[in-house]
Amino acid sequence: DIQMTQSPSLLSASVGDRVTLSCKASQNIYKYLNWYQQKLGEAPKLLIYYTNSLQTGIPSRFSGSGSGTDYTLTISSLQPEDVATYFCQQYNSWPTFGAGTKLELK
């Protein structure tokens, strides 16, 4: 199966910061990559699909990019409500997930 590696595992940032989260696949996944946000005690929420398409209702401060094996989720200006764990997920073969990046406020 395709392994997904996220970095960093923990990220501390301040309100207003530009934040970048990384996700690396063990092989080319041809942009078949989604991002989810999970807040404590809640279900995961789809943020970005097919690398850079914003899910309906998601704020435009979230964006995605990447190709091949390397992908990025960017939050342009961090808000307090963005504190959560973020997961990437590929679907070039059966779905596999990264282990998440926990984002906290500095």
Partner 1 sequence: EIQLQESGPGLVKPSQSLSLTCSVTGYTITSGYDWSWIRKFPGNKMEWMGYISYSGSTNYNPSLKSRISITRDTSKNQFFLQLNSVTTEDTATYYCARWEYSSYISYFDYWGQGVMVTVSS
Map residue 82 onto helix, strand or coil.
helix
Spatial separation of the C-alpha atoms in residues 25 and 44, rounded to whole Å: 21
Quick check: 97 and 4 in contact, CB under 8 A? yes
* The only residue of 19, 21, 25, 34 in contact with partner 1, by rule CB under 8 A: 34
Q: How far is the CB of 11 from partner 1 (least distance, A)?
A: 14
Q: Determine if 1 is a binding residue for partner 1 (CB under 8 A).
A: yes
Span of 17-25, 62-70, 74-82, 92-100 interacting with partner 1 by CB under 8 A = 92-100
- Scanning the chain, the segments in alpha helix (DSSP H) are none
Examine residue 44 and tell whether it contacts partner 1 (CB under 8 A).
yes
Q: Which is nearer to partner 1, 65 or 96 (CB)?
A: 96
Which residues contribute to the site for partner 1 (CB under 8 A)?
1, 31-32, 34, 36, 42-46, 49-50, 53, 55, 85, 87, 89, 91, 94-97, 99-100
